[in-house]
């Protein structure tokens, strides 16, 4: 395994919760490095199907070469319109949906994608190259108020105002084009470094804004509910509190108000200490599952 390869998170726990039926039809809505799809394929029989979706065309191309299995159907697109995509392919009711949110390690480590603060590459951060706005455009064009708002709302950044001010001050002197430039601005505001890089929250906020991640997630969850058959299962892995809150509230509302889902676990499942040690990116992961009624 190279160090840019994505290590799948909570795989055994996810499979136990999904509890695949032998010849079932499943959607892996976040294919990434294909780790979860591979595990699922091991549990499916010859008539089983995995529809493997990702917003990132490069992820799909890589996986299609590596996972050479006739039971996989690859789809480019966002999970926010999974129901339409699946129906167009002739799948009206499926047995399960996996959503493993955020970025893969491969995307994170690919400097040209502009997600990493150690890179001198342009601030891009689009998961899908067809998206209209890059992180660079946000920091160069948006007003101080709007930048502050996304840093606060999507990054839960307590120094949102100071960072937004510093960005606007700096961009009058020079164009802020690279990840390194932005990371340096945030470092100046923070002055000292803790255990995590001070720009972590700023980068998270920009990434969420560029990819409209929270709306995508809400839409994705509603779509999953539409496409699941009775007894079908939805399993979602989140990596920060904003995402987890959306998933938790969605499942609870469906259970208590609409009676359309029932929780498979009341408390989120988190990685064991051993997994966290082997794969530090798994540390913030939370898995929630629900069954369609």
Residues that bind ligand SAM (CB under 6 A): 6, 8, 29-30, 32-36, 53-56, 59, 78-80, 100, 102-104, 127, 216
Minimal distance, residue 227 CB to ligand SAM, in Å = 14
Q: Which is nearer to ligand SAM, 75 or 160 (CB)?
A: 75
CA separation for the pair 254, 249 (Å, rounded): 8
Minimal distance, residue 99 CB to ligand SAM, in Å = 8
Q: Are 158 and 184 in contact (CB under 8 A)?
A: no
Minimal distance, residue 173 CB to ligand SAM, in Å = 34
Minimal distance, residue 62 CB to ligand SAM, in Å = 10
Of the candidates 58, 1, 83, 6, the one whose C-alpha atom is nearest the C-alpha of residue 37 is 6
Q: Which is nearer to ligand SAM, 168 or 210 (CB)?
A: 210
Q: Which is nearer to ligand SAM, 127 or 209 (CB)?
A: 127
Q: Which is nearer to ligand SAM, 55 or 292 (CB)?
A: 55
- 3-state per-residue secondary structure call for the chain: CCCCCCCCCCHHHHHHHHCCCCCCEEEECCCCCCHHHHHHHHHCCCCCEEEEEECCHHHHHHHHHHCCCCCEEEEECCHHHHHHHHHHCCCCCEEEEEEECCCCHHHHHCHHHCCCCCCCCECCCCCCCCCCCCHHHHHHHCCHHHHHHHHHHHHCCCCHHHHHHHHHHHHHHCCCCEHHHHHHHHHHHHCCCCCCCCCHHHHHHHHHHHHCHHHHHHHHHHHHHHHEEEEEEEEEEECCHHHHHHHHHHHHHHHHHHCCEEECCCCCECCCHHHHHHCHHHCCCEEEEEEEC
Q: Are 23 and 94 in contact (CB under 8 A)?
A: no
Q: Which is nearer to ligand SAM, 8 or 20 (CB)?
A: 8
Minimal distance, residue 17 CB to ligand SAM, in Å = 14
Minimal distance, residue 111 CB to ligand SAM, in Å = 17
Minimal distance, residue 78 CB to ligand SAM, in Å = 4
Bridge partners of 228, per DSSP, are 94
Q: Which is nearer to ligand SAM, 113 or 201 (CB)?
A: 113
Q: Which is nearer to ligand SAM, 198 or 289 (CB)?
A: 289
**Residue number of the CB atom closest to ligand SAM:** 32
Minimal distance, residue 74 CB to ligand SAM, in Å = 12
Q: Which is nearer to ligand SAM, 54 or 95 (CB)?
A: 54
Q: Are 40 and 120 in contact (CB under 8 A)?
A: no
């Amino acid at each position: 395994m190279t160090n840019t390869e994505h290590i799948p998170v909570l795989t055994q726990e996810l499979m136990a919760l999904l509890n695949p039926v032998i010849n079932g039809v499943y959607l892996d809505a976040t294919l990434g490095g294909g780790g979860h799809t591979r595990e699922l394929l091991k549990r499916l029989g010859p008539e089983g199907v995995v529809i493997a979706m990702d917003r990132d065309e490069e992820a799909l191309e890589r996986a299609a070469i590596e996972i050479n299995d006739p039971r996989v159907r690859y789809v480019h697109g966002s999970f926010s319109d999974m129901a339409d995509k699946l129906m167009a392919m002739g799948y009206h009711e499926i047995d399960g949906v996996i959503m493993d949110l955020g970025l893969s390690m491969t995307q994170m480590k690919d400097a040209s994608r502009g997600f990493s603060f150690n890179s001198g590459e342009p601030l891009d951060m689009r998961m899908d190259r067809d998206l209209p706005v890059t992180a660079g455009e946000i920091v160069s064009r948006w007003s101080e108020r709007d930048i502050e708002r996304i840093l606060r709302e999507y990054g839960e950044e307590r120094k949102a105002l100071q960072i937004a001010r510093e960005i606007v001050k700096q961009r009058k002197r020079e164009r802020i084009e690279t990840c390194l430039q932005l990371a340096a601005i945030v470092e100046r505001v923070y002055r000292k470094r803790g255990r995590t890089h001070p720009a972590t929250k700023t980068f998270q906020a920009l990434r969420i804004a560029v990819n409209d991640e929270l709306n995508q997630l809400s839409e994705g969850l509603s779509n999953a509910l539409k496409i699941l058959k009775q007894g079908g299962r939805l399993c979602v892995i989140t990596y920060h509190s904003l995402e987890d809150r959306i998933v938790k509230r969605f499942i609870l509302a469906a259970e208590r108000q609409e009676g359309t889902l029932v929780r498979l676990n009341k408390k989120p499942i988190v990685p064991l200490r051993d997994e966290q040690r082997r794969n530090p990116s798994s540390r913030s992961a939370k898995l929630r599952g629900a069954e369609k009624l």
